[in-house]
Amino acid sequence: MTEPFAASIAAVAPVLVLVAAVELVNSDRRTTAILAEIGDEMERDRADGLPPPAGEAAHKYLLPFMRSVLGQFIAFVWAVFGIFQVVAVALSLVWLATPEAKPEADLATVCLVAILGGMVWLIVFPLIRSVFSPLAHVSRLERIAREWREPERQDASPSATADGS
């Protein structure tokens, strides 16, 4: 580690920590909203007298739940990278505060890995979100289309034509 390198780490890592903290809060909000939506839908279904979901019918609850699990995993990764950034800053500041500090390659490598990991995650995270976000909407559209077709099936069923209508 050299003085310019340690100073750079001490300046860059807090920005990554701030991004991680904001993403953790946003992830918590998204997960809470998803789980509240699932609960609201379950309450509506129960109030409408529908039976508890089983098999394929449970997918309408399971898919949003899986989105919340993915969101929690992503939040965990943000937390890990945030902790790495804090460690990198602490190591850099301690090294800078040492009066007779000598260059240390191992310390610099730890800080470099932490910063590069955080910067790569800054790119990977939006990529993951951009891939999975449309999938959430597709599953909703499929559910709406399936529910829309259900009345057609009921109209074409033999019981509907047996009474002479």
Rounded Cα distance, 64 and 159, in Å:
35
Q: What pLDDT shows up at residue 12?
A: 84
Summarize pLDDT for 123-145 with one digit per residue, the tens. 887 787 777 777 666 767 777 77
pLDDT surpasses 60 at 156: no
In a domain, 163, yes or no: no
Q: What pLDDT shows up at residue 152?
A: 57
Q: What pLDDT shows up at residue 95?
A: 86
The tokens describing 73, both together, are 């995993």
- The DSSP element (H or E) to which 13 belongs, if any, is helix 3-47
In a domain, 164, yes or no: no
Q: Identify which has the larger pLDDT, 63 or 87.
A: 87
DSSP letter string over 32-57?
A: HHHHHHHHHHHHHHHHTTPPPP-GGG
In a domain, 87, yes or no: yes
In a domain, 165, yes or no: no
Residue-number span of the structural domain to which 30 is assigned: 3-154
In a domain, 75, yes or no: yes
In a domain, 80, yes or no: yes
In a domain, 161, yes or no: no
pLDDT surpasses 80 at 76: yes
C-alpha 84: how far from chain center: 19
Summarize pLDDT for 36-67 with one digit per residue, the tens. 888 888 888 888 888 887 777 777 777 778 87
Q: Coil, helix or strand for 107?
A: helix
Q: Which one, of 83, 70, 77, lies nearest residue 30 by Cα?
A: 70
The tokens describing 91, both together, are 């190591």
Q: Which one, of 106, 67, 109, 114, lies nearest residue 86 by Cα?
A: 114
Domain count, the chain: 1
pLDDT surpasses 70 at 151: no
